[in-house]
């Protein structure tokens, strides 16, 4: 019980930290305020969903009182909305609105992956030990994250011929990732 509460709290804190990290310092362009509100709502909704995951829902709600029915409707909505996906999109959007700060973005990336992993552990009520097989891949990912941050600091990464090459590489990576991921997703739907 203590472990599950701790993981839920960790997920909430990591989400809040990601929002603060991506929003600071505040900018006033590109619907930044809207993105900030969406990010806060996403993290808060996801944390609330995790906290209320254990609340049972009766199968029959016909004879229940109106406040109880409203509460059940709220729970149903809370459990159906993909809060974390919305929060991730809003956080990435907030980070984009800032000028290039590669190491800051790399730390945000690590925090976002940690947030998603903690959320998964909390909602499946699993121990952190289940992530042990993924440690090597996560280490490689961290290395790539650092490489990306390093690449962002290179002068060639600015506007110019080098950036066009980078765009091609990124697009190729996108296509490769999609090629890897799409059959995997399509086979489940």
Partner 1 sequence: MSHVLGPNGPAPDAVGTAERSPAPGGSGGSSPRASTVSLQWRSSRHARRLLTLGLAALFVATVARRPEFAGLAAPALLLLAAGRSQPRPPRISLGTRPSTRRAFEGELVAIDLVIAGQGGCSVRWTLHPGREIEIAGPAGATTADGPQARFTFSPQRWGRREIGTVDVVLRDRWRLAEGHLTVNLPTLDCYPAPAQQRTQVVLSRLRNRLGEHAARTSGEGIEFAGVREYVPGDRQRSINWPASTRRGRLQVNTFAAERSQDVVLLVDGTSDVGEPGSSAIDLALRGAAAAAGAYLDARDRVGVISYHWGAVGWLVPGLGRRQVYRIIDSMLASERGAAGPAQGTSMRRLPRAALPPGALVVVFSPLLDQRFVETLRDMRERGFTMLVVDVLNADPPVRPRSTDRMARRIWRMEQEAIRFSLRELGVPVVHWDGVQSLDLPLARYTRRPLVASGSRR
CB of 10 to partner 1, least distance (A): 16
Asked whether position 52 contacts partner 1 by CB under 8 A, the answer is no
Q: How many CA atoms lie within 13 Å of 188's alpha carbon, on the beta-carbon side? A: 4
**CA–CA dist 171, 163 (Å, integer):** 12
Q: Tokens in use for 111?
A: 């925090």
Asked whether position 17 contacts partner 1 by CB under 8 A, the answer is no
**CA–CA dist 95, 148 (Å, integer):** 15
Asked whether position 174 contacts partner 1 by CB under 8 A, the answer is yes
Question: Angle at which helices 102-124 and 32-51 pack, to 10 degrees?
Answer: 30
Asked whether position 163 contacts partner 1 by CB under 8 A, the answer is yes
Contacting partner 1 (CB under 8 A), which of 72, 82, 135, 161?
Answer: 82
Q: CA separation (Å) from 115 to 16, 33, 147?
A: 9, 22, 21
Asked whether position 184 contacts partner 1 by CB under 8 A, the answer is yes
Question: Angle at which helices 2-23 and 32-51 pack, to 10 degrees?
Answer: 180
Asked whether position 88 contacts partner 1 by CB under 8 A, the answer is yes
State the residues that interact with partner 1 by CB under 8 A.
59, 82, 84-85, 88-89, 92, 95-96, 100, 102, 105-106, 108-110, 112-113, 116-117, 119-120, 123-126, 130, 133-134, 137-138, 140-142, 144-149, 151-152, 157, 159, 163, 166-167, 169-171, 173-174, 177-178, 180-181, 184-185, 187-189
């Amino acid at each position: 019980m203590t472990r599950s509460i701790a993981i839920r709290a960790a997920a909430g804190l990591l989400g809040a930290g990601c929002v603060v990290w991506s929003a600071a310092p505040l900018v006033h362009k590109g619907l930044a305020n809207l993105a900030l509100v969406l990010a806060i709502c996403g993290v808060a909704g996801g944390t609330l969903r995790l906290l209320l995951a254990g609340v049972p829902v009766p199968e029959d709600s016909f004879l229940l009182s109106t406040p109880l029915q409203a509460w059940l409707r709220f729970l149903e909505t809370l459990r159906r909305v993909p809060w974390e996906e919305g929060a991730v999109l809003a956080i990435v959007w907030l980070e984009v609105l800032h000028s290039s700060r590669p190491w800051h973005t790399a730390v945000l990336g690590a925090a976002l992956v940690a947030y998603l992993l903690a959320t998964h552990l909390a909602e499946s009520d699993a121990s952190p030990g289940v992530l042990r097989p993924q440690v090597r891949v996560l280490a490689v990912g961290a290395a790539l994250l650092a490489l990306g941050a390093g690449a962002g600091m290179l002068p060639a990464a600015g506007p110019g011929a080098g950036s066009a090459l980078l765009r091609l590489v990124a697009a190729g990576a996108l296509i490769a990732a999609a090629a890897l991921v799409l059959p995997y997703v399509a086979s489940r739907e």
